[in-house]
Chains A and B, each alone.
Chain A
Amino acid sequence: MIELDDRTLAMQRRARAWAQELKPLALELDQDPDAIHRHLDVGIMSYLTRVTVPPEFNPDPVVIDGHRFYGTGTLERVVFAEEAAAGDAGMLLAAPGPVMSGVLVDAMGDEQQKKWFYTRIMEKPTWTFFALTEPDRGSDAGAMSTTLTPDGDDHFVLRGAKHYIGNAARADLGIVFARTRPGPLGVTAVLIETSAAGFTAEPLETIGLRGLRITAVTLDDVRVPAGQVLGRHLRATQRGMWSAVQGLNRLRPGVAAFGLGIARAAYEYVLDNRRTLSAAERHRLDRLGLRLTELRQLIWRSAIAVDDNEPAAGYLASAAKARASRLAEEATLEALGYFGPGARLDHPLLDKLARDARGVEFMEGTGNIQKLNLFTGLVQGSLRRD
């Protein structure tokens, strides 16, 4: 089994303490996603608003027990994400910060772009977004129809639509994927400002994870300076989707940890609210606790693989994410079962967890997509099994 070192344990303890502040806010945010603006003073924001900003751009990192934390390590982020999601997944997703787009800027940005992006992030709490998915086409890069076309010597024009984009209606900055020409190498990514003319983001009402405030984004001839096209300094094969895939591989263990956090919250809700359990109930709950432990180990393994640049990292992360989304659903339904008929109405926090859990399936690739990816890793020999 994997054990955490002192540094990561320090983060775990602090994140657990931060998460306690989130629980009382969970139902308020579920009712009103804009409530996030009233709670930007909770302790966890000191980390979330700057997570993934590297040391050269972050002179004031979170310091815990003498350790500096920049959120650039995957294991650090998954340990944090589990704790925060166990507090409230909605608050975690609603928070300002650069997590997803920051990983992409780190992978694809040149020095000037990084400086521009991270300077903006460090100025004030700033929401960002990451727009890959399209209406009716999902994240199938081959079918992507949003276009980026030259407009004079120093600008491009962005035209198209994106769907299910978290936080875009709150964001100042974001990354949009678009097609510059047909073919697999014709997809690229651009940094954009939401204040640009032609950018609109309409919130979509969801069943759970309402804090995320997912949106439908319309890009109606949005002008983009050429300097905001990411990856221009990279080889053609390393731009666009290749970098997106690398970035998503780095983020996927965190999504799995997010699902684990929801599942754990349901498990702990039973422990906290059922004073006595029958032997059969105790057995079932113990079994659920073991499944949480097993998943946590798998997530940590995938995170360590990402941090060590192992070839199997993305595949391990797919395994963890597929298991996490399913366990989040199963654990929340199981937890409701401990409270009898009407549990969804009498235990609104547990009902919220069950609704939130449904959303994990669709974050960063469905279970089927993850299984297909895992299979690829297996038959290509990337997944070490000894």
Chain B
Amino acid sequence: MTGRVAATDEWIRYRRTARHDGLVPALSLLYETVCDGGAPPRGPGGHVVAPVGIAGAVTGEVLATLTVEDGTVIASRSRAEPPSGSTTPWAAWALGVTCLRFGLSERLLDAALAHLGGRTVGDAKLLHQQMVKGGVAEAVIEQLEIATMLEGATPGDLDDNVLTGLNAQITETDRMLLRLLGAVSFLADGPGQVARVSELIADVYFGPARAGEHTGENTGEHGGAA
């Protein structure tokens, strides 16, 4: 996974856009660049999660409409066969989704550091409490592992089992950070809502994360490309 940094600019963009601009801009960028005007990929169960306004994203039953910090996403499901001629490459999509979710996890860490750094217990910052420091460090260890795995990756380098495991690990890391953030992470207009939608994206394209394991064991056949 070395010597290929130049080839991964696109994947870094998803991560950076997610971290600095948020979920909807990053997901929109992913659709624009990977789908290239084609139908958005469906998950193995026929589900799609897309920002409002993406052409062809909602082809079946709308199951959820979720407002996040910077826009709205729609989750839908179609039982019909994908339209013929759809060419969205699954490998590119799967890597892009993973990079995007990792960027959102980094954004969540940024939010946690800012929030905890701004609160005090007695005369000390909450962020500087030993248990909080340890909790943050645990999350950072997870993120360093994930980042290292993703570094230099191009579509197809990491197979579906690895990407499924990485997505489970991102979910677990997010949960650690949400617990550190406290009750603010349970509000529908805060960073916890982004984490919720991020989990939904993983659920749709890779299957649900199982608590306590990110072993790469997939829970269903991936139908990937639409």
Task: Tell which of A143, A331, A337 has the most Cβ of chain B within 10 Å.
Answer: A337
Among residues 91 to 139 in chain B, which have CB atoms less than 8 Å away from a CB atom of chain A? 118-122, 131-132, 135
Output the least CB separation between B169 and chain A (Å).
13
- Our pick among B119, B182, B188, B220 for the contact of A340 (Cβ within 8 Å) is B220
CA distance A362 to B206 in the complex (A): 29
- Our pick among B75, B186, B206, B219 for the contact of A206 (Cβ within 8 Å) is B186
CB-CB < 8 A to B182: which residues of A? 138, 362, 366
- Interface status of B142 (Cβ within 8 A of chain A): no
A333 and B192 within 8 A (CB)? no
- Our pick among B47, B175, B212 for the contact of A345 (Cβ within 8 Å) is B47
CB-CB < 8 A to A339: which residues of B? 208
Among residues 200 to 218 in chain B, which have CB atoms less than 8 Å away from a CB atom of chain A? 200, 203-212
CB-CB < 8 A to B179: which residues of A? 361, 366-367
Contact segment of B4-12, B24-32, B38-46, B147-155? B38-46
Contact of A341 with B187 at beta-carbon distance under 8 Å, contacts A333-B211, A334-B210 already known: no
CB-CB < 8 A to B205: which residues of A? 341
- Interface status of A204 (Cβ within 8 A of chain B): yes
Output the least CB separation between B220 and chain A (Å).
4
Task: Tell which of A133, A209, A358 has the most Cβ of chain B within 10 Å.
Answer: A358
B196 and A341 within 8 A (CB)? no
- Interface status of B55 (Cβ within 8 A of chain A): no
Q: Chain B interface secondary structure, helix, strand, loop or mixed?
A: mixed
CA distance A366 to B178 in the complex (A): 11
- Interface status of A290 (Cβ within 8 A of chain B): no
- Interface status of B144 (Cβ within 8 A of chain A): no
- Interface status of B189 (Cβ within 8 A of chain A): yes
Output the least CB separation between A171 and chain B (Å).
19
B203 and A344 within 8 A (CB)? yes
CB-CB < 8 A to A330: which residues of B? 211-212
- Interface status of A378 (Cβ within 8 A of chain B): no
- Interface status of A253 (Cβ within 8 A of chain B): no
B207 and A337 within 8 A (CB)? yes
Among residues 300 to 358 in chain A, which have CB atoms less than 8 Å away from a CB atom of chain B? 329-331, 333-334, 336-337, 339-346, 355, 358
- Interface status of A164 (Cβ within 8 A of chain B): yes
Contact of A372 with B131 at beta-carbon distance under 8 Å, contacts A345-B64, A358-B178, A366-B179 already known: yes
CA distance A355 to B64 in the complex (A): 14
- Interface status of B193 (Cβ within 8 A of chain A): yes
- Interface status of B183 (Cβ within 8 A of chain A): yes
Identity of the chain B residue whose Cβ is nearest the Cβ of A142 in the assembled complex: B122
Output the least CB separation between B223 and chain A (Å).
8
A341 and B219 within 8 A (CB)? yes
- Our pick among A163, A164, A205, A345 for the contact of B204 (Cβ within 8 Å) is A345
A341 and B207 within 8 A (CB)? yes
- Interface status of B63 (Cβ within 8 A of chain A): yes
Contact of A207 with B187 at beta-carbon distance under 8 Å, contacts A333-B211, A342-B77 already known: yes
- Interface status of A154 (Cβ within 8 A of chain B): no
- Interface status of A272 (Cβ within 8 A of chain B): no
- Our pick among B171, B185, B206, B211 for the contact of A341 (Cβ within 8 Å) is B206
CA distance A136 to B43 in the complex (A): 40
Number of A residues whose C-beta is below 8 Å from B? 40
CA distance A164 to B185 in the complex (A): 12
Identity of the chain B residue whose Cβ is nearest the Cβ of A340 in the assembled complex: B220
B44 and A340 within 8 A (CB)? yes
Identity of the chain B residue whose Cβ is nearest the Cβ of A325 in the assembled complex: B179
- Our pick among B43, B192, B209 for the contact of A342 (Cβ within 8 Å) is B43
Output the least CB separation between B217 and chain A (Å).
9
- Interface status of A33 (Cβ within 8 A of chain B): no
CB-CB < 8 A to A346: which residues of B? 45, 77
CB-CB < 8 A to A333: which residues of B? 171, 208-211
B192 and A207 within 8 A (CB)? yes
CB-CB < 8 A to A138: which residues of B? 119, 182-183
Among residues 9 to 23 in chain B, which have CB atoms less than 8 Å away from a CB atom of chain A? none
Output the least CB separation between A3 and chain B (Å).
30
A336 and B135 within 8 A (CB)? no
CB-CB < 8 A to B132: which residues of A? 368
CB-CB < 8 A to B211: which residues of A? 329-331, 333-334
CA distance A336 to B196 in the complex (A): 14
Task: Tell which of B193, B205, B219 has the most Cβ of chain A within 10 Å.
Answer: B219
CA distance A80 to B61 in the complex (A): 39
> Contact flags (1/0) for A353-386 with B, using CB distance below 8 Å?
0010011011000111001100000000000000
User: A residues engaging B (CB < 8 A)?
Assistant: 133, 136-138, 140, 142-143, 163-164, 204-209, 329-331, 333-334, 336-337, 339-346, 355, 358-359, 361-362, 366-368, 371-372
User: B residues engaging A (CB < 8 A)?
Assistant: 43-47, 63-64, 75, 77, 118-122, 131-132, 135, 171, 175, 178-179, 182-183, 185-189, 192-193, 196, 199-200, 203-212, 219-220, 222
Pick the 4 closest A-B CB pairs, nearest first.
A342-B45, A330-B211, A336-B208, A340-B220
18 A-B pairs with CB atoms under 8 Å apart are A140-B121, A143-B121, A205-B187, A206-B186, A207-B187, A330-B211, A337-B209, A340-B44, A340-B219, A341-B44, A341-B47, A341-B208, A343-B203, A344-B199, A344-B200, A346-B77, A358-B185, A366-B179
- Other CB < 8 Å A-B pairs besides A138-B183, A342-B46, A362-B183, 5 of them? A206-B187, A330-B211, A340-B44, A342-B45, A358-B192
